[in-house]
Each structure stands twice: as structure tokens, then as C-alpha cells.
Structure 1
């Protein structure tokens, strides 16, 4: 069957499509219309039936015979030019050789991509154009991806995908669809990242590629090996091919840092701030708002001078009341308000991380072409990681800690209230030893096929299925012991807070004690599964066609926390009393003690308590125990075509996708002292239109326009039941909200590129996104019967109260839960990109640079709430790469820069104004190689240096001299050899 579309009919259809799209609010955003995978492989010959199809091509680029990095850039430029919507692609230079060592790092070379790094500097996941990472949909070969891993700082709590599970050597192409296609999976309001794994017919024949490297990190001071071998084969008839790859990494972790877990200020009582307490109110235990005008109050100054050697040596009288006059006399020059507002770390602590970062991965792909009209394939991917982290830190206690706390003397503060200098008596430190052990596994299978019908191959059917499972288990025991009380000199000069103490914190016999200490057994288990199937029917050729498709997807995630701390602690204290504690401590490598972990765990029967740990409300990483299951049905129609305007070709894509989602959420609730699992359900459906057009206004200039509507599903953690009543009348409760609606983004993009020759081009894009569906903590009043809790499970008092209000079907409950805001977030910005070969200066020389500027504008009734819930977005991003290469040698310097960003909402540590800010950060990387073409396998010696200048990652507690956390991942040097035969 052949579809013939007359040019006039196409023009008329284009006008109708534009008019129809004008009815979409705010006009809407762009589309990536090119056949992103099949048409732009490196190099990927199609079956004979496909080769007869016309290719959607703008004016040809200047063809150059290059290899290596310039070849990768050339493919990226050609793909961008031939696309209809706004897409950017990155190609492997050759099989198994991506331009970067980490997939996430490669994606930062694309405009508008913001990279989230783990504390060791490793790229984890990406956000697109001002939306958080969970708004990015990630697919491998068109099938959705979900991972169970959480990173060192447990950042994956939503729908993020940790990309460090996947070896870059297994992939040949990354495509970022910043504007949608109707046939692409929904779920990425910001965009879709499509990762294309290697297949045998990408390079017909027999090939083996190997890569061996040794890396050295100047923090871990250890050498780590890594290697990948990939082999592919196709038969002489061109009907069958197989590809297999194995990758292994034995990495070492080395991170030096400083953490505070927020900053705090004193919570003064009536006596300390000099106010008379109302009758019947204890002036020592009550801390009124009048004495703590700035909020917070997490640091409690003792009511009376404690009786210990430190306070006596400081010249204080044990038992003396610490009132307003004493505080002012001990801190001359300060007012009582300045003392009340004085900011210092809650738990200032140098932190050191060391351990293993091992990963093994396997890739297999098989293709079968029994005839010119059929093609079958199956892709398999497996990855497993074993990670350990001997995390050690020593904390200066600045928070509420038992009945006593720091007593300040000679304290000085700056204009912002940050303590810059002080002597603190009654000070105490505690060691926190937490050896994480984590195992992660991921596997996926992706079979599919393509069929061409009719002699002219004008009907094509694509079918595909997929299934994946990711599993994680992390155990993180904690051993916490305390020092005797002491007096310290504290200094904060704007870098990191420091202190001098007479205590030798590296002496196991110092007098460490369990008093105020603890041990924890805290485990976390995650299981994430996906499955799906889709079918796509195309009428027409690869340029002018109509496509219809249906899709089914299923996503499940279950998080469980386990905690056996009370039982283990009771056993530990009975087994290792204070007088035996020193024998289990050892001098450490960082100036403070560590623990003889093997002996401690063995003698306290840790393994038994770990294995018997009962389920808890949630793990210590911040997630909530519970599960979600989503089933989605989708259907779409898509029209692709070309027409001429002013004798210049215009390519267009228009489509509509309909999706309906059913959700089931489950989690533990404790009602009437009984813990049980509760199930809640929800559903929603959406229509997602999209339109894109690209007009070749000149031989080397392409203008683009796109409008669309995209969506991202709500955060599963915000929907889990976890129901609790906050009073005995059954009037107020906390619960997840299964009725949260998706985030919807209405988008419009306009831009274009000037192609300057070879791999060069200059591009600019203006984009606008209007996002609705943001959530905040609100209150819904609903009938008790809608809570999903059996009435008989309530306490007698709650049952009686509900009956007095009309019974379960009438009585209402005020439920605190996440609700959708009445408002929108407008995200406006622009992207600039310039790729320029400089062969007129020096053959093989060139550069690539891009810049993104983003502005956020909350609107609507809940605009203020939106402003306090939108964070983690850098307003400015840029990166640049300078490169030079010839047939044998190459060198690249790449720099990536991220602007300062707001990391959290306000009211941190109960201080209304306080927010966390991530500092601006740039990173310089080096990549160089030299090839010996005359030797067997043409070996290439490679040198990579990551974080060449040793940049740190830092965030601050509102003020630039109040560090919240700082991590130094160090500099990593990798030396290797790569070849193929």
C-alpha cells in the first residue's frame, strides 16, 4: 500500500495543524521528529528494504573523512540538521569508545542539561531545561528504564535514573529529545533521553574491541583497574549477527569533606533572655518566641553551669544559674538578641569516605534478517555493583544533646549572626562510624521486530516488548561513642569551621563512653520492575507517512526499611561496657579514632541482629516504606511530511498521544497500636498533543518551531499511605495522597541553526514551559470512609469521637498531605551552541561551546508556595571543549560550569529565612590519546584526567560563610590502552 500526499494537501494540512495547535494553552513546545535511532547509527546499514526508502535530509553537509572525536561531532551535527524538532545527539567515536567515561558526563555537552553529581564527583543523573532530574524520562532502545540505586548521598527518592550503572562502552548513541514525538513514551515533562546500545549490524563483519585502564585517585591513593571487551560478528549472507560485551570495574572511593547537617542558634529560656515567666510557667524549661525571635533554637545552653573538669578549668562555678547577666558578661560586646541569633553548625564534622566501587556488566544483542521484509532483534543488558564505604566522622555537638550543651564565652558574630570566633566550654565530640555495604543489580531484555509489507515497502510494522528488574540492598550499621567534656577554641574565617581542643581524639584510651552514644542496625531494600509492549504501524515512506501506535507499560517500586537498633544496642551495652570500649577502638588515619569493625561486629553478633531486623516506617536514607504499581495504556497518531514554502522545503511532524494510568499504592499504617499494610488506588488520563516544523530557509540555515504538551507522573513517595492520626479524636491525620495529578507542561520552542561547514554550526533556541501540578504540604478535608482504614481498627476513643460526628460515612478528617498547587511555574530561557572546526588555523583543531540561561516565574493563587518548592535549578549553565586531533594523536580539554542554585526551600532548622544554596562549580577534564596504526590491533594509548584542578562541591546554609557540606572528590588520572581487530 502506498500513500501519495500531494504538496497542496500537505500545505493545507500544515495550516490546519497550526490552527489546531493555537488552541493549546500558551502554544506549547517542540518536537524531535527525526527517526532518532534507525536513521543515524554509527554506521548502521539497514536491510535492503529500508535502503530503498528516501532519506529525510536537508542540504548536505560538507563531507569530511575524519575519525575520532571529530567524527562523533559530525554525526551529531548531521542528526541535528536532519531532525524536525529540537534534538541533540552524541555518538560514540567508534564501537566501545564514547567521548566521556560516564554517560551523564557526556550528556552535559548538550545545551540545557544540568548534571547531578554524587559526593565522589561521579555523574548520576540529568535534568533538562530547568526541571528536576525526575522530570527526565530515560529509555534504552525505546524501553523505559528504572533503577533501584540511591548514590552515596541517597538522592534517588523519586523517578531519577542513576546512569552510573551502565558502562559507556556498551552504547553508540545518546539522543536528548527536548521536544516530544507522539510515539515516544510519556513521562518526561522536561524531555526524553534515549540511550542506544550497540548491535551487530552497526558494523557488519567480525570485530573485537578491547579497552584496559588503570585509574588513580589522589584521595584514595590507590590504583584501580577497569576493562571492557566487545565482540561482534555477522555472517556473509548478512542475515544474522551477534554482539557480546563484558565490562568490569574495580574502583576505589576516596572523598574528603565537611558536613554540618544544618546550622542552628541558641534556644534561650526566660531566665537567659531576662524576661519574667508567666505564673505557673517554668522559666528554665520554657523557651518563648520573645526570646527566640529568629526561630530555630536547636542549641540549648545549659540552665546551670555543669559540674565537670572543663567548666571548672574555665573559671565557672558549677551549679551557678546561667542567666542573662552571666551570658552578657561571658560574651562582652554582644547583646542578648545577638547571642540568641548566633549561628553555628549543629554537628560540625570532618568526614572521610573510603571503600570499593565495583561494577560488572554484560551486554548481548542478536539480529536476524531472514528476508528483505523482516528484521528481528533481542537486546540483553545486565549490570551489578558492589559498593562499600567506610564512612568516618567526628562531630562537634552543637545541637540539643541530652540535658546540656555548649556554653559560649568571648563569642563574636558577623552582621549575619554567623559565629566567627568563640571559646566553648562544656563541649563534647562524638565519633560516628558507619560502614555502608550496598549491592545493586539490574537486568533488562528487549526483543522486537520490524516487518515491511507490499512490493514498494510503504507499510511498516514495528513491534517491541521489554522487561527489567533492579534490586538493591544496603546495610549501614552505626557505632557512635562520646568523648569527655572539654573546652575548645572555635574559628570560622569563611572557609571551614575549625577548633582546637586539648583532647587527643586519636587516643582510644581517651575516656570514650557510651553515655549519650548509640548503635544502629538500619537496612534498606528496593525492588523496581518495568515491563511493556508496543506496536507501531506506518503507512508511507520515511519522509511522508502516517503512524499509529499502541503501548502498554507497567512500573512497580517497593522500598522497605528495616531497623533492629534497640535490640542490638541492648546487647552491645551488655557485651562491651565502658571499661572494655577502648579495646575495640583504634587510632585512625584522619586524626581521630576508628573502630575495629570486624572484631566489634563479631563479638556483638551483628549479623544476627541485621538479618532479624523488623520492618520500619522507613530507611535512614529518607525514603518511605511502601510500594507503587502503575499500569499505563497509551495510543497515538502521528503525521510526518514535507512541503515547500517560498521554494524552500519545510518538514513537519504532528501527533496526539493519549495515556491512561491506574495506580495502586501500599504502605504500612499503625492504627490503635496495630501495624498493617494499607492499599490506596488512583487513576488519571491525559491527551498530549505535539507539533514540530523545520524550514530550510537557506542552503545552510534551518529555522525550527515546536509546540507540545508533556507530563511527568507524581512523586511515588508523596502518594504512599503511611496514615497516622495526630490526635485521639480522629479529627486530624497525616497520609499520602493517591489522587495527586501529574505535572503537565505546555511548551513552545523556536530557534534555528546556521551550518558553517564540516562539523560546524551555530544555533540558538528560545524555549518556554508552563508547568502545572507542582505539589506542597496542604490539608484536604475528606470523609473518614475515604481514608481506607477499617473503622474497627481505631481506638475506642477515636471510634466514639467519629460516631459523635455522624459516623464513618459522615464524619470528616483533616488530612495533611501533598496537594497540587493552584498555580503554574513558567520556565523561560534560551540556549546557544557553537561548534566550529578551525582547520584554517591548524588541521584538526576546533572547539564546541554552549550556554543556557533559565528564568523561573511562579504564577497563580499558590505562587508563593510554588516559589518555596522549586529548587535545585541552576539559572545559568555552560560548557566548552577545545579539541585537536590527527590520524594518530588527539587531545581535548573540556570545562563544565554550573551557576549557584537554591538547593532547598526556606525554614531550614526552623529558621524561617534559611535556605540551602549550592555554590557555583566548574570542572576541567582532559582526554588525550596516541595511536600506533602499524602495530597489531592499532593500539591506542589513552590518558584521561577527571577534575584536573581538584574542584570541590560545596553548599551553604543561607550565608556564604556558613558551609552546609563540602566534598572533595579529588583528582582522578586514568591511563589505558584501547584497540580493535
Structure 2
């Protein structure tokens, strides 16, 4: 049997001949059959799983630059227990493991931690998620998911650890050049885009020196067609409209027949407005709209039903188009001066430029004044059809740009000592930095009022209107809520680490001692200059450049750079049935570049993250024992250890106290002991049983710790603040399972797992000394200082602080996962399949379980993945289907409606990968053909009820044709 999958991460001492053999060839062969292509990568994975002591899964590249999937996240989705998070363009973004969110997954490159600054189109990376789409698959030859930890693995992944291993020169000794070129076409973007890579590797004849250099370039585009609502809402009826007998101009209190659930974001006017839409609908301007009027014009409904009628807050078709370009470099160098020393240096750099010309046309529901006529509701009070007059649209055009960079450097060395080379010292360092800047302008203009026919067919709502929304001369205006925004975002992440690992014994039986130092930093900054741009664009400046006093509204008056009279000249017909803005000309004529470059820092960007950052410095030490024994003449492998980790953290962000903005830093410290053990018992020649127990941790969410300190009263009695004293999430884990190996790459596996997670948070109130808030007493207002002195002064006074606190409760995650990989050569040579299924159940236990119950979102309770493959020496075809059950996406009380939550729809995706090898041509080039999302599946979520869509995105179908080869 070969060394465990963990041991394979650090090569054993080798002779010169051994050093020239590819590591892939050193893996234990389960069968004498030699396979290539996808089956070969499956066989490597099967062998690594069988040899591992713990619960691990690996995915291998068959050869350098030939990873079996187009996306790293998509590859990981083939592993049981892995939930894939997709961006709105359908691209795999990050992964979650066994029922815990993606921020509970620790991601490594060559054993060093990874932190990325990118946030995807969906802007979901607010805590510790790692976006995987920035890393080229061609540069990696192995992915390993550790579901059960080891003491020698870095802490931070309560759910599991993903290690990505890049290619190195001695993976395939000799001189080699691998190339690939591919063209892709998306039926929404309707553009052909090239992708290419070139990887060269060399080792000298003595087997002492090697170098590998890789280049990868992607020129991509996105085309997303979708629909968004920003939640749903209902009318805020007055007492007169409700007919409840209260003061006519007032509003029904919560609990009265016309306001049972809250919401109330849609305001039906008190009287019929005087505009062409209401007159054209046959209404008389000035007529009071009271209960009698509503009942007469909406027959069959009660005022209670009208008051609960659910409509999209901003129902809007949305279209995204733009570039997704990425260039990357990999350099890996090894020096093996003798059999006892191995030096290596891995460098990775990737740079991405992304644009997104995002346009949407909004039917105004929130704060709007639509008047319903002949409205129809279903049993849940969702509006299914209506005529709406006094309705209005607004265009939102957001042409944003984003630049992302990531670099990672990992030097290291391995030394073997002793007569039998049974003492090994591993030294490894790591440093990385990721940077992102997103420029996000917004231009918003309003349509005239109109009457429309609204229909909700259960998928997405639609309307018919007499307005030509694609006519620049329709009468678009700034008045009534038009605006412009300059909202930019900058993110920087850095990591540094050092590891020293001393091993006594060989790779199967040993004792390890190790120390590690890690540093992790992140900073998010929002920048906003919207007010200054509005002053130029639609409010107007004096001739000397000053702001008029009083400051005019954003109505496109005569002083504005773009008055209403000139607005049509900046609009043009769009490709999707409504107008767009000539954004380049608009920005050029309104001093946009200068205002963008001088945008002041704000409380947070428009992606939802808060301005602020954290710095964590960690020291860890561990001891680990690996060994073998026998029970009933059957081999038993074991791994056991203890890891101790101590974390110092500084959480910083801007706060405004007494009208003064300043940067505040809050500090914290915590230590944890993390034991673990893994057992693997070969109960039969082809059967392995496994047992694992461990304690794992994930550090608190930075977004819950940022200061953002504010006082809510002049007595300085109550404050809101982030909580730097949050303790980590601690998970106690037990796993039981095993596999039956059927030959070649085939095996059947079943695993049961149980996690008890402590440390989840909820919004609570803690009483804290004033001095612990980190706010200088002299920065308070005079009134607040007096109030503090009246309570004993700053050394004595306490404050009730609203902040996230750790719950006195546990989250229990139970589940099972099954996998079956089976060649079917007995039916047809080269045929086979692989399939996996995961079932997860989550419940809460403990005193605060009710507060914790609504705090776990986005977890699919059931997932499965299946692949059917066929290949021979020339051709291969692979069909893969990935399915996840819809999950609860948010807590209740969405848009002020207590029962409302966001739910995801079930989704499955079918992909095709095929190739044909030209063996008679030099370099044996391989022609490839791939189709992503063959059935054009959408990503959809809904608001409380399945026919109340929250958002829907259609990423389209992507076709790819290419060629790859090697010399």
C-alpha cells in the first residue's frame, strides 16, 4: 500500500531514479489495467481515498495542464457533501461542506491559507469565503478535501479544508510543453471568446533541478437575462381606505383588518391624481380613493385583502453584459541537490478585469402610487392580475468596472536526517495579497405616468403598457426620484504564514511536532461622491461652481449639466426593449472622472459590506501520531493529535461620535485546543471502515465585529457596536463510514456524520463599561458627557450595547453521504459512471435555540451529482448532472412582513465534455467540445410563496471548442 493521501503532500527521500518518476505513478495501483483521461483521474482519486487514514476526497489531473473540469469549484461539486454556490452567470464561485456555510470552509494553496478580495457578480463574499473562479484550473493537478481534520492541518475550517496543489516540475520529469486553445460562445452574450494556456516544464538529467512556468489567458464575456424584485410589499392603506372608522388621514395600526402583517411599502393616493394615465383610465381627478372606491373598482375583494395584496417592490427585468478577462502566471522551481534535501518555490499571479453593463427597468412598487383596478389575488394574497393606473417606471443603468489581482508566493524546503532518513523537517512559508477595486456609477431616470395590465403567471410577473419604454423621446425626466450615484469599493486581503514540522519515523508510522504562525488581514472601503455628482448632473451649480443655497432638488432644472430638456440626447434605444444611457458621453459631460477619483470614504459600499477591516495573528503548536497496527490480522491505520491555537485580533472601522468621524480599533484574544483522531481498518481485502472524531473551529464573521459604534440616545445609555469579543464557532465532529473497492477506479462508499456547532451569534444586548467601548470621553456631546458623569463618570458608567453575541445554544448538523464509482467494461468497454448523494438535517439545541433557529441559511438539505463517461484511446464523452434542493436563504421579517423569508428553488445543471485525440499528429493533439448548462436552467428564488419570485437569472448555454496537446 502507498503512503496516505496526507503523506503524499510531502515527498519521501528518493533516489535519483525515483525522483524522475511522476508522483501520480507512485500511487498504489488497484489493478493492472492502464487507463488514461477522465478514468485515469478517477483512478488516482480512488487510490488516494483508499490509502487515506481520515475522511478525504481528492480530484487529480491526468496530466499537467489537463484538469478534468473547467472550473475548480465545479470539480469540487463532484465530491459528496459539497454544495456549490454559483454566481448569477452560472459560474461556480465557492463551496460549502456538509451543511455549514462557505465561510466555514478553509481554503489552502500548497498548504498555505488563501484569502481573495473578489466578490463575484452577486457580491456575496462578506466574511471568509474564497472565490475560486480567479484560479486557472490548468495550474493545479490535485484538489483534496479534508472532511475530518488532522492536528497538522491549519485550523479555521469548522466544516472542512480544501487544499489546492499546483503543478511542479518533478510531477512529470523531463522537458515538456503543454498548450491549449479554446473558443467559447454563450447564447446570451452572443460573442466568441478565446482562452489559451501554455505550460512548460524542465528537469535536468541528474534529477536535481527543475522549473515549470505556465501562462493562462481568458477573454470571456457574460450575458445574463433575469428578473429582480428587491422583495415584495403591500399597500399602506389609510383608515379611510380601510374603512375601519379611525381618523380618515391616519393609517391602520398593526393587527387591524387592513394591516395584519406589516410591509406597507406601497401607497395608494388619497385622491385620483390629475395626469394623462388616470384620465385615460376613465377616472376623474380629485375623486377621493376611500374604502368604497376601492371595493367598487376591485369587485370580489375586501379592503382587508387589498391591504395585504403582495406586489414586487421593484419588479424589473435585468440584463447584464460585459467582459470577464483574466491573465495568470505560475512559476514553480525545485532544487534537489542530494537525496536528503528538497527546496522549492511556488509563485502564482492572476489578474482579472471585469465589466458589467447592467441595465434594468423598474416598475415602481415601493413608495409608489399605483391605483389598482380589477385586481385579483390568490389564496396567499399575491396579486395575479390587475390594471394599474398612475404607474411609473424608472431606468437604472449601472456600467461598472472591476479590477482584481492576486499573488501568492510559497517557498519551502524538506530535509531528511538519520541513517535511514527517518527524521524529516519540513519548513514552509507563504505570503499572499489580493486587491480589488470596483467602480460603480448609477444613472436613474423616470418615465411618465401610465396605465398598464399586470399579470403574474407564477414564474415572473409581466406587464403591457402603451408607453414605448424604448423611445428616448418618451418624456423621461429627473423629477420624482431620478438620481445618479458614484459608489466605489476597494478591498485588500493579505496573508502570511510560516510552518515548521518535525517528523520522527517514516510516512506511515511517525510522530510529528509542529509550530505555525499565521497572519490574516482584510480591509474593505466604500467611497461615495453621489451628492457632488448630483449637484452637477441634475441639481445644478452656480456659474462659479458653488452649490446654490437652498440646494435645489434633483429635477433637471436650468442650472443642471443635464437638464430635462437635454436628457433625451443622452438616451438611446436598448437591445432589450427599453432605453439605455450613452454612459461614456454622459460621464464625459458631467465631470464624472474627477468626482470619482475624489470620492470620500463612506460607511460602506453598495455591495453590502461595511467599511472596516481586521487583522488576525495566530500562533499554533501541535503534536500528531500516525501509525499502524492489526486487529484480527487486519491492518489498522490511525492518526491522532492535538492542536493548540492562540489568536490576537484587531477589528477596525470608522465611527462618528459627536459629529466627528474617526477610525476606531477594538481588540480581542482567544485560545482553543483542537483534538482529532482518525481510524481506518482494512476489514477485508477490498473493504475499509473508518471512524473519526475531532474538534474544529472557524473564526467569527468580521462583519459582526466591525466597530460601527453609534449612540441611539443623548444620555449615552444605549449604543450599537460590533463585538470584537465574539468567540469562534467550535464544531465537535464524529464520522463513521467506509468503502467497498470493486476494482480499477470503482468503489462504493457510505458515511454518516454529526456536527455540534457552538458559537453561532444573534442580535443581543450586553451591559458593558463605557471605557470598554474604545471611545474617548471628550468625543461625546456635552449632553452625553453630563449623562455619563451623572452615572458615576467614565470610569464607572455602563452602557447597554446592541451587538451580535454568541448564543447559548448548539447547531446540530446530521447527515449521510453515499458515493458509487463504477466502470462498466463488462457492458461496453470504456463505459462507467460515478454518482453521489448527500442528505442533511439541521436543528438547534440549548437555551437560545429559538434565537439561533433562523440563523443558518443557504444550506441545501439534499444534493446529488452524477456523471456517465465513456472513453477509449481516441475519444471520450462525459455527461454530468449536479442537483441541489432549494434552501432557505434568509431569516423572517423580510421587508417588514414577519412570515416572509427568501427561498431558493431546486436547481440542476447538465454539462457535456467530449474529446477526440489525433494520435497520428505530432504532440497527439486533442480536440475538445464542451457544453455548459445544456438545458438552460435558471437560478431562481422566491419571496415567501413560490409564485412570488424574488430574483431569477438565466445564464444561458455556453459552447466551447478547443484543442490541447503536449510535446
Normalised by the size of structure 2, how large is the TM-score?
A: 0.96
- Aligned residue for 1:104, secondary structure, equals helix
Distance 1:388 1:707 in 2: 46
Distance 1:596 1:748, change over 3 A: same
**Is the alpha carbon distance of 1:156 and 1:861 closer, same or farther for their aligned partners in structure 2, counting shifts above 3 Å?**
same
Asked if the contact 1:49–1:372 (Cα under 8 Å) also holds between the matched residues in 2, the reply is no
Aligned to 1:143: 112
Q: Tell me if 1:35 matches 2:2.
A: no
Q: 2:124 aligns with which of 155, 161, 171?
A: 155
SS at match of 2:70: coil
Residues 156-555 of structure 1 mapped to structure 2, 5 A cutoff: 156-277=125-246, 283-284=249-250, 289-290=255-256, 291-401=258-368, 405-515=369-479, 516-555=481-520
**Contact 2:373/2:387 (CA < 8 Å) preserved in 1?**
yes
2:614 to 628, 634, 653: 628
Shift of 1:49: 9.1
Q: For the residues of structure 2 that align with 1:454 and 1:92, how far apart are their CA atoms?
A: 35
- Using CA pairs under 8 Å that are at least 6 residues apart, name the structure with larger relative contact order, 1 or 2: 1
Report if aligned partners of 1:489, 1:500 keep a CA contact under 8 Å in 2: yes
| Structure 2 contact 863–885 (Cα < 8 Å) conserved | yes
Segment drifting more, 58-67 vs 630-639: 58-67
Deviations, residues 885-944 of structure 1 (Å, cap 9, x unaligned): 000100000000001111111111111011101000000000000001111111100000
The 2-side partners of 1:602 and 1:867 are apart by: 51
Aligned residue among 767, 770, 781 for 2:753: 767
Q: Deviations over 1:107-144 (max 9, x none)?
A: 00000000000000000000000000000000000000
Structure 1 equivalent of residue 762 of structure 2: 776
Deviation sequence 1:693-733 (CA, Å, 0-9, x none): 00000000000000000000000111010101111111111
Q: Structure 2 vs 1, CA of residues 745 and 295 (structure 1 numbering), >3 Å: closer, same or farther?
A: same
* Closer, same or farther: CA 766–445 of 1 in aligned 2, 3 Å: same
**SS, match of residue 514 in structure 1:** coil
The 8 Å contact of residues 520 and 568 in structure 1, kept in 2 or not, is answered as yes
CA distance in 2, matches of 1:728, 1:46: 76
Q: Deviations over 1:549-572 (max 9, x none)?
A: 000000000000000000100100
> 1:36–1:175: 8 Å Cα contact kept in structure 2?
no
Q: Which of 76, 91, 98 is matched with 2:67 structurally?
A: 98
Q: Hey, what does 1:843 align to over in structure 2?
A: 829
The alignment status of 1:704 with 2:690, answered yes or no, reads: yes
RMSD in angstroms over aligned alpha carbons? 1.8
For the residue of structure 2 that corresponds to 1:474, the secondary structure is strand
CA–CA distance in structure 1, aligned partners of residues 619 and 513 of structure 2: 14
**Alpha carbons 2:355, 2:402 under 8 Å: kept:** yes
Kindly state the Cα deviation for residue 60 of structure 1 after the two structures are TM-superposed.
Answer: 5.8
The answer on whether the counterparts of 1:719 and 1:737 sit within 8 Å (CA) in structure 2 is: yes
Report the equivalent of 1:125.
94
Instruction: Give the secondary-structure state (helix, strand or coil) at the position aligned to 2:895.
Output: helix
Residue 716 (structure 1) aligned with residue 685 (structure 2): no
Q: CA–CA distance in 1 between the matches of 2:382 and 2:451?
A: 20
Q: 8 Å contact 1:59–1:700 — kept in the other structure?
A: no
Residue 942 of structure 2 is matched in structure 1 by 956
Q: Counterparts in 2 of 1:637-656, with a 5 A limit?
A: 637-656=623-642
Deviation at 1:809, TM superposition (A): 2.2
From 576, 592, 603, the counterpart of 1:617 = 603
Q: CA deviation at 1:971?
A: 0.3
Contact 2:5/2:48, CA 8 A, preserved across alignment: no
1:508 to partner: Cα distance: 0.4
Partner Cα separation in structure 1 for residue 749 and residue 52 of structure 2: 14
Question: Does residue 61 in structure 1 map to residue 26 in structure 2?
Answer: no
1:556 corresponds to 2:528: no
Structure 2 partner of 1:569: 534
CA distance in 2, matches of 1:33, 1:365: 22
Q: Deviations over 1:558-595 (max 9, x none)?
A: 00000000010010011011011000000000000001
Runs of 4+ in 1 over 3 A off after TM superposition: 44-52, 54-60, 284-289
Partners of 1:73 and 1:348 lie apart in 2 by: 46
CA–CA distance in structure 2, aligned partners of residues 51 and 205 of structure 1: 8
Distance 1:686 1:152, change over 3 A: same
8 A Cα contact 1:270 1:287, kept in partner: no
1:694 to 670, 680, 700: 680
Query: Which residue of 835, 846, 856 maps to 1:860?
Result: 846
C-alpha distance in structure 1 between counterparts of 2:289 and 2:191, whole Å: 52
Contact 2:278 2:389 in 1 (8 A): yes
Shift of 1:224: 0.4
Match of 1:604 in 2: 590
Q: Secondary structure at the match of 1:752?
A: strand
CA contact 1:269–1:283 (8 Å) conserved in 2: yes
Contact 2:820 2:834 in 1 (8 A): yes
CA distance in 2, matches of 1:56, 1:744: 39
| 1:467-489 superposed Cα distances (whole Å, 9 cap, x missing partner) | 00000000110000000111111
Mark the runs of 5 or more structure 1 residues left unpaired by the alignment.
1-31
Instruction: For 1:730 and 1:972, locate their aligned partners in 2 and report how far apart those are by CA, in whole Å.
Output: 58
Contact 2:20 2:172 (8 Å CA) reproduced:
no
Give 1:56 shift: 15
SS at 1:193's partner residue? strand
Q: What is the match of residue 942 of structure 1?
A: 928
Distance 1:461 1:483 in 2: 71
Tell me how far 1:810 sits from its aligned partner. 2.1
Moved more, 243-252 or 60-69: 60-69
Shift of 1:315: 2.3
CA contact (8 A) 1:837 1:844 kept: yes
Distance apart, 1:289 and its partner CA: 4.7
Three-state SS of the structure 2 residue aligned to 1:695 is strand
CA distance, structure 2, for counterparts of residue 502 and residue 926 of structure 1: 44
Report if the CA contact (8 A) 1:56-1:542 is conserved. no
Answer yes or no: is the 8 Å Cα contact 1:34–1:82 preserved in 2.
no
Contact 1:348–1:396 under 8 Å retained in 2: yes
Distance 2:6 2:612 in 1: 40
Aligned residues: 941
Deviations 1:32-51 (A, max 9, x none): 973252469xxx98867999
The answer to whether the 8 Å contact 2:27/2:47 transfers is no
User: Does structure 1 conserve the Cα–Cα contact (< 8 Å) formed by 2:211 and 2:333?
Assistant: yes
Alignment match, 1:14: none
Gapped regions of structure 2 (runs ≥ 5): 539-559
Cα gap change, 1:870 to 1:256, in 2 (>3 Å): same
Distance in 1 separating the partners of 2:146 and 2:294: 61
| Segment drifting more, 367-376 vs 293-302 | 293-302
What's the TM-score, normalizing by structure 1? 0.94
8 Å CA contact retained: 1:919, 1:954: yes
Residue number in structure 2 paired with 1:909: 895
